[in-house]
């Protein structure tokens, strides 16, 4: 998809991402995804397994997926015209892995970016994780409001309310910690193998899960929950001084070490970029292993950011098995291999496909 900035390329990829994962890499709020002045937005797509089903001719062999977003919040999901009880039930037929220019900041950016990357992987492994994440986020917001506004009936009431939040946060927080750690354990060997390959065997990558709570020993749920509960209680004076909860998964970090050194501080720009690519390829490989078929790959404005050698490596991994939606401002930024084969180039202007300059 070729088009100038602001013509709607990213919008289209975002729509596909929403149908596949219920999330957007560009915004965490539905209100930002609804056109200005409108109350609702609708994403509709058709997907099939690619086994001889005619694309572009929505027939019975293709699933019709719809997601309706409302400015006020609250979503409605439909499959083949039938409303689903939960939007989560929409996830499944369309698996996708996104890679955007924003991901290039993954290594040197804020810890929250690495948490979001890990969360996207966990979501692929276990869609129900979205509910845990949403619940934990709401607990954090309610808790900080409680501390900010205070209570009318004194210290004891405040402590009782904090107890009520602690119990829930220890439970949900432990579940987040366990799932994130497990996902990272699975990603680690894949990412290390890609880093080794991309660096010509020179670099050894280690991913280390640094929990935002002190969690000892094996990842058994009950002891971790008890530990987190205790730490939540102990940090209260500090929490009130600093205005933010000091322990829990919202303070998790994924340490990325290249030969024992933190890549964030010591890696060169080139090394960091290679590392991002290794992480994304590991994610792609894991999702593929898990579902037994290649996910759709969404490359939003990112290919042009990679030098020809890295573009080639990405293409090698993607091979011919993946359907790949790529956006860029200029055709010239693709290496020749990307333009060959069965690729199709379309131009996008003001949110519409205007023509197909080359169809091979």
Alpha carbons 65 and 22: distance in angstroms, whole number: 11
Closer to another protein by Cβ: residue 128 or 354: 128
Residue 347 burial (10 A CB sphere; 0-12, 13-18, 19+): middle
Residue 347's alpha-carbon distances to 159, 208, 325, 358, in angstroms, are 59, 42, 13, 10
Cβ at position 83, least distance to another protein in Å: 14
In the complex, least distance from residue 86 CB atom to another protein, rounded to whole angstroms: 6
Of the candidates 23, 37, 27, the residue with the CA atom closest to the CA atom of residue 71: 37
Cβ atoms < 10 Å from Cβ of 190: 19
Closest distance of CB 132 from another protein, Å: 9
Give the residue with the Cβ less far from another protein, 148 or 350.
148
Give the number of C-alpha atoms closer than 13 A to the C-alpha of residue 95, restricted to the C-beta side.
23
Whichever of 60 and 152 has its CB closer to another protein, that residue is 152
Query: Is the CB of 110 or the CB of 131 nearer to another protein?
Result: 131
Q: How far is the CB of 67 from another protein (least distance, A)?
A: 17
- CA torsion, ordered 107, 110, 115, 116, to nearest 10 deg: -90
Tokens matching residue 233: 């209680």
Strand partners, 298: 98, 325
Please state, in angstroms and rounded to a whole number, the distance separating the CA atoms of residues 13 and 281: 19
DSSP states along 197-213:
HHTTT---EEEEEE-SS
Closest CA to 10 of 70, 75, 100: 100
Distance CA 57, CA 30 (A): 30
Name the minimum Å distance from CB 241 to another protein. 19
Closest to another protein by CB, 131 or 293: 131
- Least separation in angstroms between residue 30's CB and another protein is 15
- Which CB, 79 or 347, lies closer to another protein? 79
Is beta strand 352-359 parallel, antiparallel or unpaired with respect to 344-349?
Answer: antiparallel
Q: Judge residue 182's burial from the number of C-beta atoms within 10 Å of its C-beta, 0-12 exposed, 13-18 middle, 19 or more buried.
A: middle
Residues that bind another protein (CB under 8 A): 85-86, 131, 135, 138-139, 141-143, 145-146, 148-149, 151-153, 157, 160-161, 163-165, 167-168
Instruction: Enter the DSSP assignment of 260.
Output: T
Minimum CB distance to another protein smaller for 166 or for 301: 166
User: In terms of CB distance, is 140 or 348 closer to another protein?
Assistant: 140
Give me the phi and psi of 148, to 5 degrees please: -75, -45
Q: How far is the CB of 34 from another protein (least distance, A)?
A: 21
**Least distance to another protein, CB of residue 145, Å:** 4
């Amino acid at each position: 998809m070729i088009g100038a900035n602001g013509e709607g390329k990213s919008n289209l990829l975002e729509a596909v991402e929403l149908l596949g994962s219920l999330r957007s890499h560009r915004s965490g709020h539905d209100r930002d995804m609804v056109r200005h002045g409108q109350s609702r937005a609708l994403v509709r797509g058709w997907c099939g397994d690619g086994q001889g089903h005619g694309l572009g001719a929505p027939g019975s062999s293709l699933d019709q997926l719809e997601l309706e977003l409302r400015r006020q919040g609250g979503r409605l999901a439909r499959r083949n015209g039938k409303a689903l009880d939960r939007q989560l039930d929409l996830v499944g037929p369309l698996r996708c892995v996104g890679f955007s220019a924003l991901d290039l900041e993954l290594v040197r950016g804020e810890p929250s970016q690495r948490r979001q990357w890990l969360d996207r992987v966990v979501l692929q492994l276990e869609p129900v994780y979205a509910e845990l994440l949403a619940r934990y986020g709401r607990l954090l917001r309610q808790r900080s409001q409680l501390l900010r506004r205070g209570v009318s009936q004194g210290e004891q009431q405040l402590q009782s309310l904090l107890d009520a939040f602690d119990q829930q946060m220890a439970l949900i927080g432990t579940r987040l910690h366990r799932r994130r750690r497990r996902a990272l354990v699975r990603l680690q060997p894949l990412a290390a193998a890609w880093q080794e390959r991309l660096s010509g065997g020179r670099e050894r990558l280690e991913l280390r899960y640094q929990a935002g709570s002190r969690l000892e020993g094996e990842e058994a749920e009950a002891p971790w929950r008890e530990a987190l509960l205790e730490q939540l209680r102990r940090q209260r004076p500090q929490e009130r001084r600093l205005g933010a909860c000091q322990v829990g998964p919202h303070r998790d970090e994924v340490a990325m070490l290249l030969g024992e050194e933190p890549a964030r501080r010591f890696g060169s720009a080139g090394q960091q970029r290679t590392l991002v690519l290794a992480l994304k390829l590991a994610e792609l490989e894991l999702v593929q292993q898990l579902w037994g078929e290649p996910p759709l790959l969404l490359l939003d404005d990112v290919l042009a950011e990679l030098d020809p050698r890295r573009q080639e490596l990405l293409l090698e991994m993607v091979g011919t098995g993946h359907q790949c939606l790529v956006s860029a401002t200029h055709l010239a930024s693709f290496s020749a291999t990307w333009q060959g084969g069965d690729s199709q180039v379309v131009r996008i202007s003001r949110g519409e496909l205007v023509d197909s300059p080359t169809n091979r």
